[in-house]
Chain A
């Protein structure tokens, strides 16, 4: 495996010394282009050739051994997911690359797609071979028009070189990959919503059980949905072997991760690091050049906007070996398990840094507007609750809310959390739950008791009266 430092990068875009460029090896590389020749000159499709000589079962085993956890948000072990395809399956199997990248704060797949499409295709072809899929789709968000064209061109190039189509490299393995463009809906990132969308229906997520994609996915056939970054990693697992891959990162949190940092830091951007090898503090101060001058850290949303916010000054209890230790926000190693132990999640790898110039209510209101806009509206709690929360935070930011509203806000979030069809419910409830819990004083300070009896909707009282008189 060529280490990142052997490669030249564009000026000003050089990886930080603490990065470990695997998936982002070719991002911002000097003289690099998305064409297949460039990729082949760099040893591209070597892993495909290797994989096609392997037993598909062994590839899945290798992916299991690698410990690779999905990079799309849920962090589910990729090999285990592949293993869920029913053993006696007789239906066709499909593979879908989730390139919907829409979790606020996340911007890693964009660079892979635009700059290194063949890495993704190689990873996909290997994954299709391993899972027995002969038809695959890349579901790409509509707002990447250029990305879609690049991928289509790359697919065309693959056909020319015999990496796609019938009898790939004389392996008797057939595969077609098509690019499918979304149309601006975050919910199409949720895998079952994505599948419905790909079926030409409204992207209403399916209930699970019974519709686990690996068993009942696209067209009710076994379907593997994986994130762009996850699929790219498959190529590297083949290259170095599952065991070697598992040595990267930390136990149960293997490999590398592209962390996307945005918000109030001097140098926002993407950083590929070994999972768990750097802490939040190192990420902010070393890799991102610290906070803006004169600013103090207020909070961090560590895994895309749906991850629960972590407040500066908060104390987190985590396990170290057999011991439980208390750490602060900057000491948190950026891995799946620790972030979960801290009450949040690594999610999609989107880290949003918030300094003390920001109002918590303003941040939350912006997030709530996103979720109110993106709720698919299929199930009651999320459909009604997401907009309600947004309306309340809207009033809080305008200074038109009463202290009661803060309580209502919080309980609306609780009434969504865990009660919806898909994980969007949590995604939209967690920001409110965590912001209100951790910045309650600040929220309350923006409210006034004079709004205690404010009824912005006179119909409500009238209706309530009707209801009781009727019954």
Chain B
């Protein structure tokens, strides 16, 4: 695995935020790698473990616990639709359906272990997320780091168009 110099520099800086225990830097380091590579590979797990003087299982324990870390490649744009109550009441399930239709994503294989579905062309990927803390403006979703509020299911295509 080739971690570019500037990413490693960023990682080294982040580690300094935890003067008491390097292990504390596990999440920030994983975030850095995921931001760069799109997901956390098995190699990345081992790289992080070596970086922080830990066993790889210590890192795998985290990567598999937190849905925020992906273990397979997402699309160019990764969509997270809020699934939880207030958004569901405002139509987030319909939004999910519409987004899948528009982006040609098949979610039939989605399961607990594989929450992410990717479009045929690899441009979009999608998953449900739990409460994104914007319940007053549901349904909401994140597209990569962009936050979208009150996304009407009917206007799913408009949302996707922004990412052409």
Contacts and interface: CB of A to CB of B under 8 A. Distances in A.
A and B touch in the complex (CB under 8 A): yes
Interface of A: 92, 101-107, 109-110, 135, 141-146, 178, 180-186, 197-203, 218-219, 260-264, 268-270, 305, 350, 352, 354, 358, 363, 366-367, 369-370, 373-374, 376
Given A107-B134, A182-B27, A219 B69 contact: no
Contacts of B80: 143
Interface of B: 17-28, 30-31, 52, 54, 58, 61-62, 65-69, 80, 83-86, 88-89, 129-138, 142, 145, 147
A358 B58 CA distance: 44
Contacts of B27: 180-183, 197, 200
Contact of B135 (A145, A186, A262): A262
Contact of A178 (B17, B21, B52, B130): B17
16 contacts: A105-B135, A107-B134, A143-B133, A143-B142, A180-B27, A183-B31, A183-B68, A184-B66, A186-B130, A199-B23, A200-B27, A202-B62, A260-B136, A262-B136, A268-B137, A370-B130
Nearest to B31: A181
* Interface secondary structure of B, over-half rule: mixed
Contacts of A186: 130-131
8 pairs of A and B residues whose beta carbons are closest in the complex: A183-B68, A183-B66, A184-B68, A200-B23, A262-B135, A262-B86, A200-B26, A268-B136
A321 to B, nearest CB: 35
A143 B132 contact: yes
Contacts of A270: 136
Nearest to B29: A200
A101 B17 contact: no
B136 A269 contact: yes
A102 B85 contact: no
Contact of A107 (B65, B66, B67, B135): B135
A267 to B, nearest CB: 9
Q: Which of A141, A219, A373 has the most chain B CB within a 10 Å cutoff?
A: A373
Contact of B86 (A142, A180, A263, A374): A263
Nearest to B69: A183
Given A181-B28, A200-B25, A369-B83, A263 B132 contact: no
Nearest to B61: A202
Nearest to B62: A202
Contacts of B62: 183, 200-202
Q: Which of B20, B26, B84, B145 has the most chain A CB within a 10 Å cutoff?
A: B84
Given A200-B22, A373-B130, 17 more contacts: A102-B133, A104-B130, A104-B131, A104-B135, A106-B135, A143-B142, A178-B17, A182-B27, A182-B68, A184-B129, A184-B130, A200-B21, A203-B65, A262-B86, A262-B89, A305-B131, A370-B84
A436 B150 CA distance: 31
A86 B130 CA distance: 38
Contacts of A185: 65-68
B85 A367 contact: yes
A135 to B, nearest CB: 7
A215 B135 CA distance: 35
B55 to A, nearest CB: 12
B30 to A, nearest CB: 7
B112 to A, nearest CB: 8
Contacts of A181: 27-28, 31
Contacts of B67: 183-185
Contacts of A263: 85-86, 89, 135
A80 B131 CA distance: 31
A182 B66 contact: yes
B131 A102 contact: yes
Contacts of B24: 180, 198-200
B152 to A, nearest CB: 15
Contacts of A269: 136
B52 A200 contact: yes
Q: Which of B67, B133, B134 has the most chain A CB within a 10 Å cutoff?
A: B133
Nearest to A103: B131
A200 B14 CA distance: 13
Contact of B85 (A105, A178, A261, A373): A105
B135 A260 contact: yes
